[in-house]
Amino acid sequence: MTHRTLISAEELKALLDAEADILILDCAFDLAHPQNGPAVFETGHVPGARHAHLEHDLSGTPSGTNGRHPLPTREAFTAWLRGQGLTNGKQVVAYGGMGNAGAARAWWMLRWMGHAQVAVLDGGRDAWIAAGHELETGKAAEVLAEGDFTPGLPLVAGTVDADDVLANIDTHDAQVLDARDPARFRGEPSPNDVVSGHIPGAKNRFFQNNLNDDGTFRSAAELKADFEALLGDAPAILQCGSGVTACQNALAMEIAGIPGAFVYIGSWSEWTSDPARPIETGA
């Protein structure tokens, strides 16, 4: 059975017990302390997992004007995936903390590369522990054979850039949904933002609102009702601070049966790099 959005801890354990050919990516990352991700991984991870570092593996190089976490080139990401042993058709499972945002970024990127067999561990590492399953410590074992993964056509709607978002302010062709927390959206000062506020016309969809109290995703019906209330009939442009938690909203929309959202990868960190771009404050 192929998993393409979510996989439960019990389903993942069954795959491991059956010695299925899967690639598990631990996407633990601390936005405030980037060095903590590898340390958390070594402290304990799902057996057989490999660490996917948000800044080194799931991002390209910031230029100062392209956001904090720009996409790597497809060629660079292909090389990294092959280095993790990925082959065409292999099931990938990603998980992490912070509402599984880093895992959702990996999920979105693999679909961007045309790889359909990718899912996020529902509830992340905490769900694995809560189910009574053991963690593995230390660094990941080396992959002995490089994978032969070949990228294909994207399975996501794609990305938009700052010019597209700027034009959309006048055309209203799409609804921008901002995944940041409500305080940052309103314009209250935050150490993560050089300038406070939000893109004119945007609506706030805090990514944590997609989750239950235990960190698992809410039901498809609940998510569908929430997103339809925000979007109406308009397509979505998803953004956040730097193109990470926006991908968690993209995953939530996929679960809800509302595919086709565009992601503004540069997001607020790119938008505010040009003082000429307009900004709104308030709810």
Q: What is the pLDDT of residues 79-125, one digit of tens each?
A: 999 999 999 999 999 999 889 999 999 999 999 999 999 999 999 99
Bridge-based pairing of strands 203-204 and 118-121 is: unpaired
pLDDT at 33 over 80: no
Homologous superfamily (CATH) of 6-130 is Rhodanese-like domain (3.40.250.10)
Clarify whether 247 is annotated catalytic. no
Question: Which residue is catalytic, options 165, 240, 244, 251?
Answer: 240
Ranges assigned E (strand) in the chain: 6-7, 22-26, 50-51, 91-95, 118-121, 175-178, 203-204, 236-239, 262-263
Query: pLDDT > 90: what percent of the chain?
Result: 92
CATH architecture of the domain formed by 162-271 = 3-Layer(aba) Sandwich (3.40)
Rounded-to-integer distance, Cα 209 and Cα 13, Å? 27
pLDDT at 262: 98
Q: What is the mean pLDDT of the chain?
A: 96
Please check whether the two domains, 6-130 and 162-271, share a CATH topology. Answer: yes
Tokens read off for 58: 């799931």
93 bridge partner residues: 24, 119
Is the whole-model pTM more than 0.95?
Answer: yes
The structural domains of the chain, with segments of one domain joined by +, span 6-130, 162-271
pLDDT at 209 over 90: yes
Place of tokens 């404050």: 281
